[in-house]
Amino acid sequence: MCRWLAYTGSPIKPEELLVKRDRSLIDQSLHARQGATTTNGDGFGLGWYEEGEGPRVYRSTHPAWNDRNLRELAAGISSPLFFAHIRASTGTAIQETNTHPFRYGRWLWMHNGLIREFPRVKRDLVLAIDDSLFPSIEGTTDSETMFYLALTFGLESEPVAAVERMVGFVEKTGREHGVDLPIQMTVATTDGRTVWAFRYSSQGDSRSLFYSTRVDTLRKLHPDMTFLEGVSDETRLIVSEPLGDLPGAWNEVPESSYGVVQPGADELYPFAPAPA
């Protein structure tokens, strides 16, 4: 089981969230607490945007806690929107091209979960990917296949509808192969402006997903946290597992829901698969 974090708001150095805190993402990679897998040592990825540019992606197959270059990079850049992901492989090879976040054009995608019995259904899923997208696939994971299916179904123009269709198609294909509960996922995707985060599983018992309380509320709860002074009220974090132990800081995304984080009011809606 993987761990991930999506940040959007005032530009910060990623090290603030990846390295510095107790229960930072790197600390979690050594000691996952709410996850199904003991250790997340199968690779790390950081995808980030800068002013009008990006995304850039740094990906490594070394455990995050060993990766000096990651610490240098996380201190050397500043970004208003970044994704970070630590991987625990569910079977596919440990290689950079299987490491999240995945990138296509302006888009990033990362995933925690799995397509069940992926080797059995992979061929049918891959065949449904659009001809023009096919040559861009670089790795061999279920997560990247989900991304390219979502792109095939219109992610760039209607992101929510495209993810609904992707999930519908994965569930239909799985059931055709006799798989009872074909998908388990928390997914984040972004075009560099808006972040969409989805929590869904065929069994209605999805892996955890949390979003942070508004910064103005947090500041009132924790006036001692100087880190919060420098960031805008709209700064938001979405994480697979809470970082740190701030009372009042984390709200669970409900089962079968998705959130939209954007300039202006954020939104939370129910999520259901749709026919492809």
| Residue ranges in contact with a copy of itself by CB under 8 A | 30-31, 38-39, 41-42, 48, 50, 54, 56-63, 65-66, 68-69, 72-73, 75-77, 89, 93-97, 119-120, 122-123, 126-127, 131, 134-135, 137-140
Shortest distance in whole angstroms from residue 151 CB to a copy of itself: 15
The nearer residue to a copy of itself, 92 or 206, going by C-beta atoms, is 92
The nearer residue to a copy of itself, 44 or 169, going by C-beta atoms, is 44
Shortest distance in whole angstroms from residue 233 CB to a copy of itself: 26
258, two tokens: 């998705």
Shortest distance in whole angstroms from residue 138 CB to a copy of itself: 6
Shortest distance in whole angstroms from residue 172 CB to a copy of itself: 18
The nearer residue to a copy of itself, 128 or 161, going by C-beta atoms, is 128
Residue type, 253: V
The nearer residue to a copy of itself, 60 or 213, going by C-beta atoms, is 60
Shortest distance in whole angstroms from residue 14 CB to a copy of itself: 12
The nearer residue to a copy of itself, 88 or 253, going by C-beta atoms, is 88
Q: Is the dihedral of CA 137, 135, 194, 170 positive or negative?
A: negative
